[in-house]
Amino acid sequence: QKEVEQDPGPLSVPEGAIVSLNCTYSNSAFQYFMWYRQYSRKGPELLMYTYSSGNKEDGRFTAQVDKSSKYISLFIRDSQPSDSATYLCAMSHPGANNLFFGTGTRLTVIP
């Protein structure tokens, strides 16, 4: 079983839709949860960072962590064509020297 599972998509939505992206994980020691956005031919860039459980909101983006279910989500409200990218979840635990990445979900927002 992979430590981090992420549906690869692809996911296509119309402009203005609410997008939900999700990851599940198996290691209960994970404490740090991140979402990276990766545009085509570019490196990943940090979008959201959450420590432990709870919600975090930043503009149109909301990250949720449910540690009891080992499930994290990223919601994008009022999606825009500029949101079209691959979204990678990543997580880590105290003492780790690495991030554990999901495989990424490719999102296309259609004007």
Give me the residues that bind other proteins (CB under 8 A), please: 4, 6, 8, 31-32, 34, 36, 41-46, 49, 51, 88, 90, 92-99, 101-104
Q: How far is the CB of 45 from other proteins (least distance, A)?
A: 7
Helix (H) or strand (E) holding 94, with range, is none
Handedness of CA 80, 43, 3, 9 (dihedral sign): positive
Q: How far is the CB of 111 from other proteins (least distance, A)?
A: 26
CB nearer to other proteins: give 44 or 76. 44
Q: How far is the CB of 33 from other proteins (least distance, A)?
A: 10
Specify which residues 57 forms β-bridges with.
62
Identify each DSSP E strand in 16-70 by its residue range: 19-25, 32-38, 45-51, 54-58, 61-66
CB nearer to other proteins: give 79 or 91. 91
Q: How far is the CB of 28 from other proteins (least distance, A)?
A: 15
CA torsion 15→83→75→19, rounded to 10°?
40
